[in-house]
Amino acid sequence: MEALKDVRILDMTHVQAGPTCSQLLAWMGADVIKFENPQGDATRGQLRDVPNADSLYFTMLNCNKRSITVNMKTPEGAQVFTDLLKKCDIIMENFGPGVLDRFGFPWEKIHAINPRIVMGSIKGFGSTGPYADFKAYENVAQAMGGAMSTTGVPDGPPFVTGAQIGDSGTGLHLAIGLLAALHQARRTGQGQYVEVAMMDGVMNLCRVKFRDHQRLTRGGLSEFSVPTHQGMGAVPRAGNDSGGGQLGNAIRCKPGGPNDFVYIVVQEAVWEALANRIGPELGMPGLAKDPLFATIGERRKNQNAVWEMIGQFALKHTKRELMAILNELDVPCGPIMSTEDLAHDEHVRGREMWVELDHPQRGKWFNVGMPIKLSASPAVIERSPLLGEHTDEILREVLGYDAAKIAALKSAGAFSAPKKAKAA
């Protein structure tokens, strides 16, 4: 937790895209002040599994942060915000378009208040262009960034992927931008505005699909298991094709349950060993030398037959057995791991990627661990904060407010939701 220990972040982010970024920065040691609307990040109450407790949606994305509630729609709340800006190195937000401007704090004003501060913004589509005014959630970004049109099978509907590439993927992009801008600010004394649009982040993650898009102007795509031809325009959905220079597919195993599959990459270098292992069991001892499959070009042309043969072999083995057989042959492969498999996996536990935590409202729970391992700065994961748990502490320690000032701000409503007007 040493890497960013001298970095303080004013974190106005909510839902998933922003919090996933600030959680990573907190795990690298930054002091992340989660600056919340007095009602709290909406995810605290979404998809609740324990009554009146912060939901897992919230707890899993907001570890190692301190929470302060501030009502930005009061002059006193806006003053607290201004004071915090002067004490922070980074401010970050992922509000809908125009929210900060409506608060009266566009980037120019924030920069004038603290010229060193770096500001990070996530928007669905960025601040310019015809889509700039639109809100976005994960699957909207997957739809519009190219992921959905290339996921699924050609004669089925487009599919979203379970990996949250629109939200968490964009959070990763923002973390990289913030660290680069912070590095520059420490050198020059000048902060800058870092913007990541979810649609742009998804396009970045679909880069190889745009490789294929351009290849289609010159000819069909020989590695695809589905038909392609020159001039077809859009890259088609191609099921579980590897999408790379090596052939790959998900192969069903014993006993045939929904996750009894192994993803197998028939790397050029391993074909002979693989063919010598599966051929004899299939009554094809000469498979390695069969001209239909001898070269990568032939295997591409006849790949559906390759999957058929491997599939027959696989049906006699469980995914774990098949993994062991293939690893012995140096064949790159991976069983399809369910969330249940992963939650009990020895490798995952050993790498601290499924971490048990305690929480005053919900008791024991688990979080996915820190995927970036810094040798001299390992993450120590701590539970997420309760709503406003650190309001007084931050006002005292970070801003140096005394008890009388804090009490006056409280009675002016700086930290609470506006009182609802009584119904007539």
Binding site for ligand COA (CB under 6 A): 15-17, 37, 70-73, 94-96, 99, 102, 122-124, 135-137, 167
Least spacing, CB of residue 400 vs ligand COA, in Å: 21
What is the Cα–Cα distance from 252 to 239, expressed in whole angstroms?
14
Least spacing, CB of residue 155 vs ligand COA, in Å: 31
- Computed over its alpha carbons, how large is the radius of gyration of the chain? 26
- Nearest residue to ligand COA, by Cβ distance, number only: 96
Annotation says 101 is catalytic: no
* Signed CA dihedral, 291, 294, 296, 299: sign only: positive
Least spacing, CB of residue 72 vs ligand COA, in Å: 4
* Nearer to ligand COA among residue 17 and residue 274 (C-beta): 17
Per-residue b/e over 356-374, b at no fewer than 16 CB within 10 Å? Answer: ebebeebeebebebbeeee
* Nearer to ligand COA among residue 121 and residue 150 (C-beta): 121
Diameter of the chain by CA atoms?
88
Per-residue b/e over 130-157, b at no fewer than 16 CB within 10 Å? Answer: eeeeeebebebbbbbbbbbbbbbeeeee
The encoded tokens of residue 419 equal 């009182």
CB 181 within 8 A of CB 194: yes
Catalytic residue among 167, 212, 241, 260: 167
* Nearer to ligand COA among residue 169 and residue 248 (C-beta): 169
Least spacing, CB of residue 8 vs ligand COA, in Å: 18
* Nearer to ligand COA among residue 171 and residue 335 (C-beta): 171
- Local structure of residue 227 (DSSP, 8 states): -
Half-sphere exposure of 410 (CA within 13 A, CB side): 12
Query: Where in 164-299 does DSSP place strands (E)?
Result: 193-197, 247-252, 261-266
Least spacing, CB of residue 369 vs ligand COA, in Å: 21
What is the Cα–Cα distance from 340 to 337, expressed in whole angstroms?
8
**What are the catalytic residues?**
167
